[in-house]
Amino acid sequence: MRKEQTSLTYDPSHLKVGVLALQGSFEEHLDMLDGLGVNVVEIRLPGQLEGLDGLILPGGESTTIGKLAVEFGLLEPLRTFGGEKPIWGTCAGAILLSRDAHRTQPLLELMDITVDRNAYGRQIASFETELDIPVLKTVSDSTAPFNGIFIRAPLISSVGKDAEILAALPDGRVVAAQQGHLLATAFHPELTEDDRVHRYFIHLVLEKIRSLWQES
């Protein structure tokens, strides 16, 4: 599938977006953002969060990423960052953003969602499906469904009053949610050639920048 050629309505080189690079599929996010012209950096230490406009938490192993975040002194700085600026968590990153994962592990507890790990079974149960994600019309004229890639994917089992559902499977199981400037997807947009979800996250980053500018 070819990338859409819809023109962007911002200068992406003015933005600085980080990708947490402790473990998992961070390189694919780096490549996607680089293809959009965004100034993108790998994040491994607290000081590297300084000056970022937004941050992506990639897929991988949520327990491992959480433990490494604790080891590198990142957990509290990430919580503080997410209270002020946009964060997008994909798969394991969505687990890290949640308030509850039905097990003891480091969480940022920023989003009013509950996430179940490996909800669809082992690696062999991974699958792809077309998703209707209406908010993508914010950044694209395309009406095509988004190809959701689910690899040992979590399930957003509940969405609290502070968050909203963005996408679900035909049986109603929630796979994407948003809470203000925070975004969680149970699937892997970075493994496709469709950049619409990444562009939507950039839209959230720009909206947050505008709101902060208006408040100042």
pLDDT at 103 over 90: no
Annotation says 91 is catalytic: yes
Token pair recorded at residue 133: 């994600």
Task: Name residue 161's amino acid.
Answer: K
Average pLDDT, the chain: 90
pLDDT at 118: 61
Residue 13 amino acid letter? S
Predicted model pTM: 0.91
Closest by CA to 74, choosing from 15, 27, 22, is 22
Q: Which of 29, 91, 181, 198 is catalytic?
A: 91
pLDDT per position as a tens digit, 128-181 = 999 999 999 999 999 999 999 998 888 999 999 999 999 999 999 999 999 999
Per-residue pLDDT, 3: 39
Q: Exposed/middle/buried for 111, CB within 10 Å: 0-12, 13-18, 19+? A: buried
> Which pLDDT belongs to residue 211?
85
Catalytic residue among 29, 181, 188, 198: 188
Of 28, 29, 181, 190, the active-site residue reads: 190
Which domains does the chain show, CATH number per domain?
12-215 (3.40.50.880)
Q: How confident is the model at residue 20 (pLDDT cuts 50, 70, 90)?
A: very high
Strand partners, 113: 159
190 is catalytic: yes
Please compute the mean of the pLDDT values over residues 44-55 and round it to a whole number. 97
* Higher local confidence (pLDDT), 24 or 205: 205
Burial tier of 4 (Cβ tally within 10 Å: 0-12, 13-18, 19+):
middle
